[in-house]
Amino acid sequence: MNPLFAAVCSPRSDDAQPFRPFRIPILALLPGVSWTFPDTRNARGAPVVTETNGKGRDMADRTKITTARARAFMPADGREAVLWDSLAPGFGLRVRPNGRKTWIVHRRRAGAVVKKTLGTLDALSVEDARQAGRALLAEAKAGTVPTMRKFAPSFLADCAERWKPATRATYAHIVRRWILPAFGGRRVDAIGTTEVRRWFDGIAATHPGSANWALAAMSSMMKHAETLALRPDGSNPCRGLRRRRTGFEAHYLTDDEFAALGRALDGAEADHGVAVAALRFVLYTGVRKSEALRLRWEQVHGDRAVLPDSKTGPRAIWLASPARAVLAARTRCPECPWVFASPCGEPVKVKKAWEAVRQAAGLPTLRIHDLRHSHAAVAVNGGESLRIVAGLLGHADIKTTFGYAHLAEESVFDAAHRVSRVLADMLDGEAVEQ
């Protein structure tokens, strides 16, 4: 017999499988050396490979790893050991004699067992480490999953048709500026919730406005990866993360501010006639700036303008007499489709005009979008229901309009007063006029 090998035998019981002796390399019995039983068989007689960590711990001895178990796991003898996971075979938590705990993966490649360290227990949560481990373990079976850097161009190209031009430009910028620097080298299916949350929190700390866009783009990217079977269904690591509140608040114009704005618009008409007309149209209709500036004559039909495509899809803009007066004052050019056109035949730019207007009105921080907010505020304070206001603003989801609900406190109080008085009269036996 080869002196480096020893035959291992066990007595055969009556109901056991026929005995098959096998040999173990004696050197493999030394600490730190991995070993296998190539002829071990299960109850059906099929061969099973059993691996250990070289310290005598069998990989078949698995348990579902939780955060509590991971933190509590410490071998009694103080030697290196691995706690193997039952949910992701080949994935486990290794504990060094010095107490350092790291996530590892054992996988077979070209017949050999390859060990991969994923990170420490403190750096990766159980779910993130398990997700990364599964991704590595699936590589041999499903082929190579692309990195985020390789996946990004196809993501932007595949989704371009269902995005507005502004969204396409914004997402492309977000991918280049925020996503690829952080995750470019990572596999699409190896990104977990904890690291996305840390990434999002880091952006929000310095660029709160960009953070929400970055989270939306990242979530869209992960959903597309699920569609292409590059990630398991329902594994979007952005799920559950909430958008951050931005640093600005809506400015609702007061009566005095409306008067100051009106004087400023009148004063700017000589130098910025078309732009001022567009700004008045935004205020009178409550439309978004882009909807006003890209309005075409062919979309105007009497008391309404019909937009085939807006931020929320097709919508109608209702044109009251002030808005119709603005349109009537415009000179229509047969060669130009735009209602508010610049001399060169393109939609007019309003940045310079708006800066002049808000400075003259003494409202240097007022945004054009605040004209839309103020339009909604006047409607709510006038007693219009939130559902009506949603129609005026073109909100696809009335939940968006609920942001104006606090403006209706006086109307709600009046309603509460009326209902309470009716109920009190009924309790007193008094007749109630319907």
pLDDT at residue 54, as a whole number: 40
- b (16+ CB within 10 A) / e for 259-295: ebbeebbeebeeebebbbbbbbbbbbbbbbbebbbbb
Count the alpha carbons within 13 Å of 1 in the hemisphere toward its beta carbon: 11
CA distance 242 to 234: 17
Count helices and strands in the chain by DSSP H and E runs: 16, 10
Percentage above 90 pLDDT, the chain: 29
Residue 2 — very low, low, confident or very high, per pLDDT cuts 50/70/90? very low
CATH 1.10.150.130 in the chain, residue ranges: 148-227
Cα torsion angle, 169, 170, 172, 173, sign: positive
Mean pLDDT score of the chain: 77
Question: Looking at the predicted structure, is the pLDDT value of residue 271 above 90?
Answer: yes
Confidence of residue 141 (pLDDT cuts 50, 70, 90): low
Please say whether the beta carbons of 223 and 158 come within 8 A. no
State which CATH number among 1.10.443.10, 3.40.718.10, 3.30.390.30, 1.10.1200.10 fits the domain covering 255-403. 1.10.443.10
What mean pLDDT comes out for the span 279-294?
A: 89
Q: pTM of this prediction? A: 0.49
Any alpha helices (H) in 43-125, and if so which ranges? 67-72
Question: Start-end ranges of CATH 3.30.160.390 in the chain?
Answer: 59-143
For 155-190, how does the pLDDT look when each residue is reduced to its tens digit (9 = 90+)?
998 888 788 787 888 999 999 999 999 999 999 989
Residues of the chain with CATH 1.10.443.10: 255-403
Q: Is the pLDDT of residue 358 over 90?
A: yes
Look at 384 and 62; give whichever has higher pLDDT.
62
Residue 114's pLDDT is what? 59
**CATH number 3.40.430.10 given to 148-227:** no
**pLDDT-derived band of residue 30, with 50, 70 and 90 as boundaries?**
very low
Fold classification of 59-143 is: Double Stranded RNA Binding Domain (3.30.160)
Whether the pLDDT of residue 412 is over 90: the answer is: no
Amino acid identity for residue 135 in this structure? A
Q: Which of 182, 186, 59 is nearest to 115 (CA)?
A: 59
